[in-house]
Amino acid sequence: MSKVQSPRIALYPGSFDPVTLGHLDVIGRAARLFDRIVVGVIDNPSKSALFTAEERRAMICGELEGLGGVTVKTFTGLAVDAAAQVGAQWIVRGLRSAADALYELPMAHSNHHCGKVEIETIFVAASPEVSFISSSLVREIAARGGRLGAFVTSAVEDKLRKKLT
């Protein structure tokens, strides 16, 4: 008798304020590793976001149209609790640099132990062409009128420009 294998579900949590080409790179690459990816837009009241959680969710949905096996949800609270809500056994985190690893590794260890169930963190190294991108950098460039084509899609750029005018 063969064992029925449950789907491999991963949560990719973040603020995505706004979603960047780096985020999209990690989502696309992680989607090849798992049966289902849930992009978890974390609504953190202690952070002042440019876009609301619902605006960020809608923006990501627009960018991921046609990519099978990926859904987008908003969450509050701990990423491990969001993972449990969606049945994820893994959390995906993108790494751009060694500095990211220094921040992410203790978080991965904490996430492994602090939830209701143990969860593993999978690190996906960002592609070199997008490894310099951060949402905070994008917001600053947008606020100062700089070019954004290397950082975000044109649809996201339009939303940023409208939000900042």
Q: Which active-site residues does the annotation give?
A: 23, 47, 96, 135
What's the token pair of residue 155? 């649809």
Query: SS3 for 82?
Result: helix
Alpha-carbon gap, residue 76 to 98, rounded angstroms: 28
| CA–centroid distance for 89 within its chain | 16
Alpha-carbon gap, residue 139 to 67, rounded angstroms: 26
What's the token pair of residue 1? 């008798």
Query: SS3 for 11?
Result: strand
Note whether 57 and 73 are within 8 A (CB): yes
Q: Which amino acid is at 116?
A: K
